């Protein structure tokens, strides 16, 4: 399979852009012409009906000049609070650059700052997922970066490589494209070893492959191949194919050349179902009426109207069990509403939720994308 074919076959795509591509190392400013060519490529994908979002680094690289940090200082030698301040300064410049590039294509951009734990903790995960899906449905391009101000750990090497994979998993993307300074994985570091051979496809990300990765090169790049391979592991386990492609020239997506493709044997939807059912400890139980049982079995969501009884103590985003009136377990799913809210809206029409609660998080107690029927 060629990268062009893979892109053509994918409906939902996450594109990761690294600092070394976005930012001119010497001047600490955005490569605006390059970014414009990327935005044009993405606009074409959106025109073809695809949903696309971007995970971009570059905030620290852009903000550092405002704090007097020299481009020759290694990122790892800068104290964390200065990096966080640089990220806060640079994020605005970065957002402006993206919105200008997409504006020429009549597309709006949105800024989403996430912590890796937001993609894991279920409640934050569901909110972030819903936000991103809504933005994509409205043809707005989310520019996602790590929320560096509140990163409690060090801003670690290549965090955004992994964050991009987690985002791809969270939104059920078909494909993650890692635009990089290299055109893929080699059997050894090609800068060191002239016999290093390029690997076009990785179907099985085993120990031998993992051993091939080196650390990040000097300069603005922080991740290197190691974090790309960690990202590939997260992505392919979640049913997401991943491409490492060179972003060194303009129009790196429409003109994609040599790459490494990491194929996944799973589908995003079945990987997501596995993720949901892996939360074996349900925090509560919902008993539903016969009409709701039928709806569930025909693949529909669980609405409050069909709930007969709520028990347990659960929060929004927690896994709960769904049973019929005879106590037969039917499904497990992640709930939109917590125990108290579920008790209040039980038996009511979804159109009454806003009046009853004073707010509204959706029609469903469990949306079908968060529901797994028992075999």
Q: Which of 60, 173, 175, 234 binds ligand GLU (CB under 6 A)?
A: 60
- In sign, the C-alpha dihedral spanning 183, 234, 95, 137 is positive
Closest to 85 measured CA to CA, from 112, 65, 109, 115:
65
Residue nearer to ligand GLU on the CB measure, 60 or 165: 60
Q: Judged by CB under 6 A, how many residues of this single chain contact ligand GLU?
A: 16
**Which pairing describes strands 175-180 and 12-17: parallel, antiparallel, or unpaired?**
parallel
Instruction: Specify the length of the chain in residues.
Output: 375
User: How many angstroms separate the most distant Cα atoms in the chain?
Assistant: 70
CA distance 12 to 156: 27
Q: At what angle do helices 159-170 and 224-237 cross, to 10 degrees?
A: 10
Closest distance of CB 19 from ligand GLU, Å: 5
Closest to 367 measured CA to CA, from 319, 301, 303:
301
Residue 244 within binding range of ligand GLU, rule CB under 6 A: no
Q: Which of 84, 109, 145, 169 binds ligand GLU (CB under 6 A)?
A: 145
Closest to 35 measured CA to CA, from 24, 50, 46, 51:
24
Residue 59 within binding range of ligand GLU, rule CB under 6 A: yes
Closest distance of CB 145 from ligand GLU, Å: 5
| Residue 190, token pair as written in the block | 């090609």
Q: Which of 28, 58, 116, 247 binds ligand GLU (CB under 6 A)?
A: 58
Residue nearer to ligand GLU on the CB measure, 58 or 268: 58
308 Cβ contact partners less than 8 Å away, ≥ 6 residues apart = 287, 288, 289, 325, 346, 347
Residue 370 within binding range of ligand GLU, rule CB under 6 A: no
- What is the pattern of x (binds ligand GLU, CB under 6 A) and - over residues 73-112? --------------x-------------------------
Closest to 303 measured CA to CA, from 318, 285, 288:
288
Residue nearer to ligand GLU on the CB measure, 228 or 272: 228
Q: Which of 160, 178, 335, 338 binds ligand GLU (CB under 6 A)?
A: 160
- What is the pattern of x (binds ligand GLU, CB under 6 A) and - over residues 5-44? --------------x-------------------------
Residue 222 within binding range of ligand GLU, rule CB under 6 A: yes
Residue 146 within binding range of ligand GLU, rule CB under 6 A: yes
Residue 264 within binding range of ligand GLU, rule CB under 6 A: no
Which CA distances in Å does 204 have to 161, 177, 237, 297?
19, 18, 11, 35
CB burial string 12-38: b at 16+ within 10 A, e below: bbbbbbbbbbbbbeeebebbeebbbbb
Residue 159 within binding range of ligand GLU, rule CB under 6 A: yes
- Only one of the segments 156-164, 197-205, 261-269, 294-302 lies at the binding site for ligand GLU (rule: CB under 6 A); that segment is 156-164
**142 near 132, Cβ under 8 Å?**
yes
Residue 171 within binding range of ligand GLU, rule CB under 6 A: no
Residue 118 within binding range of ligand GLU, rule CB under 6 A: no
Residue nearer to ligand GLU on the CB measure, 113 or 357: 113
Residue nearer to ligand GLU on the CB measure, 30 or 302: 30
Residue nearer to ligand GLU on the CB measure, 182 or 369: 182
CA distance 308 to 334: 18
- Only one of the segments 64-72, 152-160, 295-303, 318-326 lies at the binding site for ligand GLU (rule: CB under 6 A); that segment is 152-160
Residues that bind ligand GLU (CB under 6 A): 19, 57-61, 87, 145-146, 148, 155, 158-160, 222-223
């Amino acid at each position: 399979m060629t990268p062009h074919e893979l892109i053509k076959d994918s409906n939902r795509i996450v594109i990761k852009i690294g600092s070394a591509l976005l930012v001119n190392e010497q001047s600490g400013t955005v490569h605006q012409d390059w970014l414009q060519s990327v935005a044009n490529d993405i606009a074409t994908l959106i025109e073809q009906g695809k949903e696309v979002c971007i995970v971009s680094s570059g905030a620290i690289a852009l903000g550092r000049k405002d704090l007097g940090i020299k481009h020759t200082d290694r990122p790892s030698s800068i104290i964390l609070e200065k990096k966080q301040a640089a990220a806060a300064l640079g994020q605005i410049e970065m957002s402006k650059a993206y919105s200008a590039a997409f504006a020429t294509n009549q597309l709006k951009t949105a800024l989403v700052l996430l912590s890796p734990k937001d993609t894991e903790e279920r409640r934050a995960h569901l909110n972030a997922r819903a936000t991103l899906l809504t933005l994509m449905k409205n043809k707005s391009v989310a520019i996602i970066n790590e929320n560096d101000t509140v990163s409690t750990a060090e801003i670690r090497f290549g965090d955004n490589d992994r964050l991009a994979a987690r985002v791809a998993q969270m939104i059920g993307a078909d494909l993650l494209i890692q635009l990089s300074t290299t055109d893929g994985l080699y059997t050894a570091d090609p800068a060191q070893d002239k016999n290093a051979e390029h690997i076009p496809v990785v179907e099985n990300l085993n120990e031998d492959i993992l051993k091939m990765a080196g650390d990040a090169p000097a300069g603005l790049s922080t991740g290197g191949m190691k974090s790309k391979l960690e990202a590939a592991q997260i992505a392919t386990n979640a049913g997401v194919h991943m491409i490492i492609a060179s972003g060194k020239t303009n129009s790196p997506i429409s003109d994609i050349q040599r790459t490494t493709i990491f194929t996944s044997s799973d589908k995003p939807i079945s990987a997501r179902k596995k993720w949901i059912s892996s939360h074996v400890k349900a925090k509560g139980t919902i008993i539903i009426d016969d009409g709701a049982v039928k709806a569930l079995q025909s693949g529909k969501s669980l609405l409050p109207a069909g709930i007969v009884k709520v028990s347990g103590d659960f929060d929004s985003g927690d896994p709960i069990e769904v049973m019929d009136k005879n106590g037969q377990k039917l499904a497990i799913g992640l709930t939109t509403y917590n125990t108290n809210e579920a008790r209040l809206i039980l038996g009511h029409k979804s159109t009454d939720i806003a009046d009853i609660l004073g707010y509204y998080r959706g029609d469903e107690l469990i949306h079908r994308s968060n529901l797994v029927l028992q075999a």
